Amino acid sequence: MGLSTAVNRLKDSKAKSKVIILMTDGVNNAGFIEPDTASKIAKEYGIKVYTIGIGTNGDALFPYAYAPGGGFLFKMMPVEIDVEMMKSIARNTGGKYFRASSNSKLEAIYNEINKLETTEIQELKFYDYDEKYRPFVWIAGILVLIEFGLRNTIYRSFI
Protein backbone atom coordinates (compact mmCIF):
# COMPACT_ATOMS: atom_id res chain seq x y z
CA MET A 1 0.00 0.00 0.00
CA GLY A 2 2.89 2.37 0.78
CA LEU A 3 4.38 1.93 -2.68
CA SER A 4 1.05 2.45 -4.43
CA THR A 5 0.38 5.59 -2.38
CA ALA A 6 3.80 6.99 -3.32
CA VAL A 7 3.18 6.17 -7.00
CA ASN A 8 -0.19 7.92 -6.82
CA ARG A 9 1.46 11.08 -5.46
CA LEU A 10 4.23 11.10 -8.08
CA LYS A 11 2.31 10.05 -11.18
CA ASP A 12 1.30 13.58 -12.22
CA SER A 13 4.66 15.16 -11.43
CA LYS A 14 6.37 17.08 -14.25
CA ALA A 15 9.85 16.26 -12.89
CA LYS A 16 12.46 14.80 -15.21
CA SER A 17 13.32 12.08 -12.73
CA LYS A 18 10.68 10.48 -10.53
CA VAL A 19 12.14 8.39 -7.72
CA ILE A 20 10.71 6.50 -4.76
CA ILE A 21 12.94 5.23 -1.96
CA LEU A 22 11.13 2.30 -0.38
CA MET A 23 12.59 1.36 3.00
CA THR A 24 10.95 -1.80 4.31
CA ASP A 25 11.34 -5.39 5.39
CA GLY A 26 9.55 -6.32 2.17
CA VAL A 27 6.75 -8.31 3.76
CA ASN A 28 3.33 -7.38 2.39
CA ASN A 29 1.18 -7.41 5.52
CA ALA A 30 -1.35 -4.63 4.87
CA GLY A 31 -3.40 -3.19 2.04
CA PHE A 32 -5.12 -4.63 -0.97
CA ILE A 33 -2.66 -3.77 -3.77
CA GLU A 34 0.04 -6.36 -4.33
CA PRO A 35 3.66 -5.10 -4.51
CA ASP A 36 4.12 -6.53 -8.02
CA THR A 37 1.05 -4.63 -9.24
CA ALA A 38 2.28 -1.40 -7.61
CA SER A 39 5.73 -1.82 -9.24
CA LYS A 40 4.12 -2.35 -12.68
CA ILE A 41 2.08 0.83 -12.22
CA ALA A 42 5.25 2.69 -11.17
CA LYS A 43 6.99 1.49 -14.33
CA GLU A 44 4.07 2.70 -16.49
CA TYR A 45 4.44 6.20 -15.03
CA GLY A 46 8.24 6.18 -15.39
CA ILE A 47 8.89 6.08 -11.66
CA LYS A 48 12.11 4.44 -10.50
CA VAL A 49 11.98 2.62 -7.15
CA TYR A 50 15.07 2.11 -5.02
CA THR A 51 14.36 -0.49 -2.35
CA ILE A 52 16.23 -0.61 0.94
CA GLY A 53 15.87 -3.72 3.07
CA ILE A 54 16.06 -3.01 6.79
CA GLY A 55 15.89 -5.26 9.80
CA THR A 56 17.31 -8.68 10.53
CA ASN A 57 15.89 -12.16 10.22
CA GLY A 58 15.00 -13.70 13.55
CA ASP A 59 13.13 -12.26 16.52
CA ALA A 60 12.82 -8.61 17.46
CA LEU A 61 10.92 -6.54 20.01
CA PHE A 62 7.63 -5.31 18.57
CA PRO A 63 5.12 -2.93 20.19
CA TYR A 64 1.76 -4.66 20.54
CA ALA A 65 -0.24 -2.51 23.00
CA TYR A 66 -0.24 0.67 25.06
CA ALA A 67 1.02 0.44 28.62
CA PRO A 68 -1.05 2.02 31.43
CA GLY A 69 1.64 4.69 31.85
CA GLY A 70 1.30 5.84 28.21
CA GLY A 71 4.26 3.95 26.73
CA PHE A 72 4.25 0.76 24.70
CA LEU A 73 4.28 -2.88 25.68
CA PHE A 74 6.71 -5.00 23.66
CA LYS A 75 6.97 -8.68 22.87
CA MET A 76 9.31 -10.75 20.74
CA MET A 77 7.95 -11.31 17.24
CA PRO A 78 9.45 -13.17 14.30
CA VAL A 79 10.94 -10.91 11.61
CA GLU A 80 11.52 -12.01 8.06
CA ILE A 81 12.89 -9.98 5.18
CA ASP A 82 11.49 -10.59 1.70
CA VAL A 83 14.62 -9.82 -0.30
CA GLU A 84 13.29 -11.35 -3.51
CA MET A 85 10.20 -9.12 -3.47
CA MET A 86 12.32 -5.98 -2.99
CA LYS A 87 14.75 -7.02 -5.72
CA SER A 88 11.80 -7.69 -8.04
CA ILE A 89 10.31 -4.24 -7.39
CA ALA A 90 13.66 -2.54 -8.02
CA ARG A 91 14.34 -4.59 -11.16
CA ASN A 92 10.83 -3.95 -12.60
CA THR A 93 11.16 -0.18 -12.25
CA GLY A 94 14.81 0.26 -13.21
CA GLY A 95 15.88 0.93 -9.65
CA LYS A 96 18.30 -0.89 -7.41
CA TYR A 97 18.06 -2.98 -4.24
CA PHE A 98 20.15 -2.14 -1.18
CA ARG A 99 20.55 -3.83 2.19
CA ALA A 100 20.97 -1.64 5.29
CA SER A 101 22.26 -3.46 8.34
CA SER A 102 23.46 -0.40 10.28
CA ASN A 103 23.10 3.38 10.39
CA SER A 104 26.43 3.90 8.64
CA LYS A 105 25.43 1.48 5.87
CA LEU A 106 22.12 3.35 5.46
CA GLU A 107 24.00 6.64 5.15
CA ALA A 108 26.24 5.10 2.47
CA ILE A 109 23.15 3.86 0.61
CA TYR A 110 21.61 7.34 0.59
CA ASN A 111 24.89 8.79 -0.68
CA GLU A 112 24.95 6.24 -3.51
CA ILE A 113 21.33 6.98 -4.47
CA ASN A 114 22.19 10.68 -4.40
CA LYS A 115 25.00 10.02 -6.90
CA LEU A 116 22.69 7.95 -9.14
CA GLU A 117 19.94 10.59 -9.21
CA THR A 118 21.46 13.96 -10.09
CA THR A 119 18.43 15.88 -11.34
CA GLU A 120 18.45 19.52 -10.20
CA ILE A 121 15.16 20.81 -8.85
CA GLN A 122 13.96 24.28 -8.01
CA GLU A 123 12.51 24.65 -4.57
CA LEU A 124 10.13 27.41 -3.58
CA LYS A 125 10.21 28.12 0.14
CA PHE A 126 7.67 30.06 2.13
CA TYR A 127 8.56 31.50 5.52
CA ASP A 128 6.10 32.45 8.22
CA TYR A 129 7.72 34.84 10.64
CA ASP A 130 6.29 35.36 14.09
CA GLU A 131 7.51 38.75 15.28
CA LYS A 132 7.98 38.95 19.02
CA TYR A 133 9.32 42.50 19.44
CA ARG A 134 6.00 44.36 19.85
CA PRO A 135 5.56 43.94 23.63
CA PHE A 136 9.11 45.21 24.15
CA VAL A 137 8.42 48.25 21.97
CA TRP A 138 5.29 49.02 24.03
CA ILE A 139 7.20 48.68 27.31
CA ALA A 140 10.03 50.90 26.00
CA GLY A 141 7.52 53.51 24.81
CA ILE A 142 5.75 53.58 28.16
CA LEU A 143 9.08 53.93 30.00
CA VAL A 144 10.11 56.83 27.72
CA LEU A 145 6.78 58.57 28.41
CA ILE A 146 7.20 58.06 32.18
CA GLU A 147 10.77 59.41 31.99
CA PHE A 148 9.60 62.43 29.97
CA GLY A 149 6.74 63.09 32.41
CA LEU A 150 8.97 62.82 35.48
CA ARG A 151 11.69 64.99 33.93
CA ASN A 152 9.18 67.77 33.27
CA THR A 153 7.37 67.54 36.62
CA ILE A 154 8.88 66.10 39.81
CA TYR A 155 12.58 65.91 38.83
CA ARG A 156 12.61 69.19 36.89
CA SER A 157 14.68 71.02 39.47
CA PHE A 158 17.38 68.30 39.66
CA ILE A 159 18.41 68.57 36.02
pLDDT digits (tens, 9 = 90+) for 100-156: 888 899 999 999 988 887 767 678 888 988 889 999 999 999 999 999 998 888 877
Domain ranges of the chain: 2-116
DSSP labels, 89-148: HHHHHT--EEEE-SHHHHHHHHHHHHHH-----------------HHHHHHHHHHHHHHH
Please provide the CATH number assigned to the domain covering 2-116: 3.40.50.410
The pLDDT tens digits of the residues spanning 7-52 come to: 988 888 887 788 999 998 777 777 788 888 889 999 998 899 999 9
Q: The pTM is what?
A: 0.64
